[in-house]
Amino acid sequence: MKYQEAKDKFILAWGSLGSSWGISRTMAQIHALLLISTTPLSTEDIMEELQISRGNANQNIRALMDWGLVEKQLKTGERKEYFVAGKDVWELAKQVAKERKKRELEPILKVLNQVQGVNGNTKEVKEFKEVTKNISDFAEQAESTLNLFINSKQNWLYKILSKIRS
């Protein structure tokens, strides 16, 4: 397979994976491009490669920086800004987990706790409380596990897998 073909395939696939991960298509494509790039890329490089507008490039690069997936890199003697993506896949996964926890898990946990305060004694209320309590317990477990993962220095999965299989 030719390099160009492989590259395009990868960028496309990463983009569509992104869509189902709360990361917009273009954002994921820019990320993919930076992942496989051997050098930092400027906004123009990215516009050129992905055939997107300046505004689009700018906004998505900034979103990637918000997520902590991409960093700005200045070249001495140049005014242009260049961007690089961290290449450590574990760091990437941790960063994504962290952001999603903040954006998704925490809000639902808040609501689940709030609605526990429902009052009444009908079977509807009882069922409601039971279900939401179960979900809340589960979500808290998930949160605690995610924290373990996010804060782990080393390869967490390997450790767990070796333990659980022993």
Judging by beta carbons within 10 Å of its beta carbon (0-12, 13-18, 19+), is residue 50 exposed, middle or buried? middle
Could you tell me how far CA 56 lies from the centroid of its own chain?
19
Nearer to a second copy, 53 or 164 (CB): 164
Work out whether 154 is an interface residue with a second copy (CB under 8 A).
Answer: no
Amino acid 125 reads V
Residue with smaller CB distance to DNA, 22 or 120? 22
162-165 contacts, C-beta under 8 A, 24 or more apart? none
Residue selected from 51, 53, 122, 154 as contacting a second copy according to rule CB under 8 A: 122
Q: Cβ closer to a second copy: 2 or 79?
A: 2
**CB-based contact 145:157 (threshold 8 Å):** no
- Residue 160 binds which entry of DNA, a second copy, none, with Cβ cut-offs from 5 to 8 Å by kind? a second copy
Instruction: Give the nearest distance from C-beta 18 to DNA in angstroms.
Output: 9
| Contact flags string 45-84 toward a second copy, x per CB under 8 A | ----------------------------------------
Taking the CA atoms of residue 143, residue 31, residue 14 and residue 66 in that order, the dihedral angle to the nearest 10 degrees is 30
Contact of 44 with 53, CB cutoff 8 Å: no
Residues that bind DNA (CB under 7 A): 19, 24-26, 42-44, 51-56, 58-62, 78-81
